[in-house]
Amino acid sequence: MKTANSREVAFIQKSHQIINSKRIYTDYIHRLAWGTDASCYRHIPEVVLFPKNEDEMQKLLQTVYQDNVAVTFRAAGTSLSGQTLSDSVMIVAGKLWESYKMNDKAETITMQPGLVGARVNEILQPYGKKFTPDPASLQSAMVGGIVMNNASGMNCGTHANSDKMLVSARILFADGYLLDTGDKQSQNRFRNERTSFLKELEEIRQTVINNQPLKERILHKYSIKNVTGLNLLPLVVFDDPFDIIAHLLVGSEGTLAFMSEVTMKTAAILPFSASAMVYFKNIRTACLAVQEIKHTSAVGAELLDRKALRSVEGKPGMPEHLPLFGEEVTALLIETKANTHKELEDNIQEISQVLGDFDTEMPFEFTDDASVYKTWWEMRSGIFPSVGGMRPAGTTTIIEDVAFHLEDLPEATAELQHILVKHGYADGVIYGHSLEGNFHFIINQQFDDPAEVERYEHLMNDVVELVTNKFDGSLKAEHGTGRNMAPFVEREWGSDAFEVMKRIKKLFDPKNILNPGVIFNDDPTVHLKNFKSFTPTNPHVDKCIECGFCEINCLTSGFTLSARQRIVIQREISRLRKSVENEKLRQQLEREYLYPGNVTCAGDGLCATSCPMGINTGELTHDLRHKQFPSDSIGWQIGNFTANHFAGVKSGLRSVLFLANTAHNVLGSKAMTFVANEAYKLGTPLWTTAMPKPYKMKREEAVITQNPLKVVYFPSCINQTMGVAKGNPDQTPLPDKMDGLLKKAGYEVIYPEKMESLCCGTIWESKGMFDIADRKTFDLEEALLKASENGRYPVLCDQSPCLYRMREKIKRLKLYEPVEFIETFLVNRLDFHPINEPVAIHTTCSMTKMHLGNMLFQLAHRCSSEVLVPQEVGCCGFAGDKGFTHPEVNRYALRKLAPQLESSDIKYGYSNSRTCEIGLTTNGKIPYMSIVYLVDQCTTPKTQ
């Protein structure tokens, strides 16, 4: 490990006077976690800082400038070229930087750098607008990284990238000086106070304007996608110094200044869209087709070579006979958009006519069915991680990013394919944005063998020769220069252009403290150093390429550790264990991992929903917990005792709930909350006013009738024990409410025997006690089989997390949770009378994984004219008992809930998990109940 120098130590001490110590990390585990991005490199910072606003950022920059300390800015860390890494000071502008402001009827939008790109589109969608930069990582990448890398993707090309759409920016220079390029007052102050800066900037611009060959070269280089080096185009196309300053930031990768805010133009969403997947006999033919469709109404054409197609064989939407295609077959995923259906049909006819001149491997047709083409585009967005998931264990997946002029495309692409084979990368994949001449190639690489590093070096030398000398293309089209192409910037651009870039860098950052080593690096072999390890650690996560796509759905991302960071730490622990190079450090990491990595992981599995390979880091957490509780441990023995005496445990819990409810009634909410908080500090689970009263079902002797409508109802153990909270508008316990609704619809309700002892096993599974969990599930299955007469009748469970595990483990029964059962069986037997007041719904993790979110919304909409689905509220973080034992996780997960409920004047919320509803009520400040209550309120028996 690098040792902090005296300047870094001094800065760290000063930083505690600027921002809250809780937002400063100097412990090794967090520095290691944040020393990872989506690239193949690793640099471990000495300190990681999380300023929450512009004022704090300004003070930090003033300090690093004064102390001459290097600093790197980071947002989402989905960068692929190592530009968000630091071995000095790292400043994260992510989840604390998410504010935005709509301007001019959404013609422009002003955003802070931590706003996720896909979230921007959610904000703009109601206005019929969109955020035009469209990297494949848009679901996870943040605005700061998108703009500062000039990241683009499948459709925005060079006509709608960040450089084209940027209007103005708020900028903090290396010394902390603030400039708002869109504010006249700020401009005037800058003119008065930074005269020499503007003079030098104009001299640099005149150097370019007066050098006609250089000017023409810049225009030629930017006629295709190019982000190699600094962005020189503003020097040619703008004469206003503030336009030049703002646009110089685009693609600068944090080497010039910090962008605290950016205003960008939006674009209209074209309402009609169609796509086609077209298969050609080889990559050259596909590129020839691209040259022709470039002149049509196609807005995108994604090329996928045979190996890219191989990575998605068998996935939804792909042809069943794809495995039978030849080894050179190449696909184009083509898209066209229009304002009217007639225009769309004309576009399709035009493109199809052009493609008719080419032999294709199978007939093709365009589809405007979103459910079909969305699958194709989601598959295309996940090619990089999908290919990475196929790599051999212990290897690193590297993605490079080149562009050629369209006239060179067939020859250049074929030669690129030949180079990969020549150097032994037979599994190398080529795919990308062919309409823009922009291709990515993916290779799987080992770096622990010097011979393998040398092979990689020879490959890169040939690629650089091909792109720069033979075809004068772009070594970096959209991923940023980073460390992996820094040695080749001058070679691509030539000495005149590179000298201009160095002058710009010196002007903005005279001390070279902003992201040093990125873009400008004197080490010709920097791209061959500081590779990170991919040591196998757990089969559930070993395919992870650390792209960071999971983090958008990881509730503790930005709080403790994210799913990606948990994998990073466990890989390092495994590497240290295997190498035995630093036993003390390994033990330290294992200790430090316990709270941020293990305890605060909800294990909900939502990280898998945005991972192209479906990696569920919760399974890693469960495995680690399993190791904590071997069968001879006290923890396992306690778990086994509770399983064997479950009815008694539930009875004990009812007693606790009774005492708490009695105290609540006597003391009142305010005093009881104070007492509960003090008790929590001493180690007891946290009580809140959302805690329910005790409840025990009173079952009457079953009378089997001739009614053909029968359902086996298994109230979850939690709903058999917990009633409703004091402030709920309906005081009927859920099992009674569910029973009443079923009977209202004409169903006879059957209950399994010995319900007091039955449980799905989720409680023990979450603790890693898999054998106990499976035993409880088996007992439940046997009881349900008997009650349902071996599956003759459907089975209903009222708690979605329980039902999720039941479906995973029980395959002999038809199992339903309330929303699905109501929509499937009860809707046609009930009359709905919608209320004219807004309600909120919360889709639980298990419902999301069972793809029931839309069904929940549909059912709620039958009951209310206005249904709110709060944005950016995923897993609630209650995670069984975690909301009681570690309520800070629940609080962080729901931090954006209450303001949305308040602004929409929501009085009641509905969900499908009793424990989740406790946390939602506590943090949302309104009662949350099962959706069953709303359905019962809004329905009457069907009139015949």
Task: Give, to the nearest 10 degrees, the angle between helix 450-464 and helix 409-422.
Answer: 160
Q: What is the CATH number of the domain that holds 887?
A: 3.40.50
My answer on whether 193 and 138 are in the same domain is: yes
Name residue 618's amino acid. G
Residue 82, domain member (yes or no): no
* Side-chain half-sphere CA neighbours of 73 within 13 A: 32
pTM value is 0.93
Same domain for 359 and 432? yes
DSSP single-letter state for residue 142: B
On whether residue 852 sits in a domain, the answer given is yes
pLDDT digits (tens, 9 = 90+) for 882-914: 899 999 999 999 999 999 999 999 999 999 999
Mean pLDDT throughout 706-714?
Answer: 91
Q: Does residue 91 lie within any of the structural domains?
A: no
Question: What digits encode the pLDDT tens for the residues 172-210?
Answer: 999 999 999 999 999 999 999 999 999 999 999 999 999
Instruction: Name the maximum alpha-carbon separation found in the chain.
Output: 96
Band (pLDDT 50/70/90 cuts) for residue 649 is confident
- What does the DSSP assignment read for 25-46? E-SHHHHHHHTB-SSSBB---S
460 and 357 together in one domain? yes
Whether residue 712 sits in one domain with residue 606: no
Task: Name the amino acid, one letter, at 427.
Answer: D
User: Token digits for 137?
Assistant: 């990582």
Query: pLDDT above 70 covers what percent of the chain?
Result: 99
Q: What is the pLDDT of residue 623?
A: 94
DSSP-derived letter for residue 23 is: G
How far is Cα 156 from Cα 322, in angstroms, rounded to an integer? Answer: 29
Same domain, residue pair 750 and 863: no
Question: pLDDT tier at 2 (50, 70, 90 boundaries)?
Answer: low
Joined together, the tokens standing for residue 929 give 């109940």
- Reduce the DSSP state of residue 756 to 3 states and report it: helix
Please tell me the total count of domains within the chain.
5
- Same domain (yes/no): 194, 172: yes
Q: Exposed e or buried b for every residue in 876-902, given b needs 16+ CB within 10 A?
A: bbbbbebbbebbebbebbbeebbebbe
Confidence of residue 324 (pLDDT cuts 50, 70, 90): confident
Residue 802 phi, psi dihedral angles, 5° rounding? -65, -45
837 and 817 part of one domain? no
Structure tokens at 734: 């859920």
* Cα gap 302→316, rounded to integer Å: 18
Answer yes or no: is pLDDT of 703 > 70: no
Question: Residue 275 corresponds to which amino acid?
Answer: S
B/e letters for 567-580, b = 16+ CB within 10 Å, e = fewer, are: bbbbbbbbbbeeee
**Phi, psi angle pair for 204, to nearest 5°:** -65, -45
Name the 3-class secondary structure at 433: strand
Same domain for 125 and 235? Answer: yes
Q: Which of 246, 266, 286 is the last residue of a domain?
A: 266
Of residues 787 and 943, more confidently modeled? 787
Q: Is the pLDDT of residue 536 over 60?
A: yes
Residues 100-153 have pLDDT tens digits of: 999 878 999 999 999 999 999 999 999 999 999 999 899 999 999 999 999 998
Assess whether pLDDT exceeds 90 at residue 466. yes
- Secondary structure class of 267 (helix, strand, coil): strand
Q: What six digits make up the tokens of 569?
A: 């730490």
- Statement to judge: residues 842 and 801 lie in one domain: no
- Which tens digits make up the pLDDT trace of 810-822? 999 999 999 999 9
Is 681 in the same domain as 791? yes
pLDDT at 304 over 60: yes
Whole domain around residue 547: which residue ranges?
A: 533-628
Task: Report the mean per-residue pLDDT for the chain.
Answer: 93
User: Residue 84 is which amino acid?
Assistant: T
pLDDT for 800: 94
CATH code, domain carrying 162? 3.30.465.10
Which of 266, 299, 319 delimits the end of a domain?
Answer: 266
Strand 815-816 to 795-797 pairing: parallel
Paired with 170 in beta bridges are 180, 261
Residue 876 scores a pLDDT above 80? yes
- What's the pLDDT at 391? 80
Q: What are phi and psi of 577, to 5 degrees?
A: -65, -40
Q: Are 152 and 478 in contact (CB under 8 A)?
A: yes
**In the predicted model, what is the mean pLDDT of residues 447-456?**
92
Which residue carries 């950022």 as its tokens?
A: 57
Residue 433: partners with Cβ closer than 8 Å, 6 or more residues away = 152, 153, 154, 157, 225, 300, 301, 302, 303, 439, 477
> CATH number for the domain including 431?
3.40.462.10
Q: What was the pLDDT predicted at 944?
A: 62
Say if 584 falls within a structural domain.
yes
| Claim to verify: residue 789 and residue 883 sit in the same structural domain | no
DSSP 240: S
Number of Cβ atoms within 10 Å of the Cβ of 684: 12
The confidence score (pLDDT) of residue 851 equals: 94
**pLDDT score at 398:** 87
- Cα–Cα dist 28/1, whole Å: 10
Same domain, 621 and 657: no
User: Are 135 and 148 within 8 A, CB to CB?
Assistant: no
Query: Given this model, what pLDDT does residue 866 score?
Result: 95
Task: Residue 846: name the closest of 805, 795, 882, 794 by CA.
Answer: 805
Given pLDDT bands bounded at 50, 70 and 90, which one contains residue 621?
Answer: very high
Does any domain span residue 74?
no
Calpha distance 918→850 (Å, rounded): 22
End position of a domain, from candidates 825, 845, 863: 825
Structural domain includes residue 899 = yes
Let me know if residue 34 belongs to a domain: no
Alpha carbon distances (Å) from 68 to 55, 89, 506, 646: 20, 11, 14, 63
For the segment 398-431, what is each residue's pLDDT rounded down to a tens digit? 889 999 999 999 999 999 999 999 999 988 999 9
Q: Is residue 509 part of a domain?
A: no
Any idea how long the chain is?
944
Q: What confidence category does residue 701 fall into, taking pLDDT thresholds of 50, 70 and 90?
A: low
Residue 846: pLDDT band with limits 50, 70, 90:
very high
Q: How large is the average pLDDT for residues 340-368?
A: 95
CA distances in angstroms from 620 to 467, 569, 627, listed in the order given: 42, 12, 11
Residue whose pair of structure tokens reads 């009927």 in the numeric block: 732
Per DSSP, 599 falls in state I
Question: Mean per-residue pLDDT for 836-843?
Answer: 96
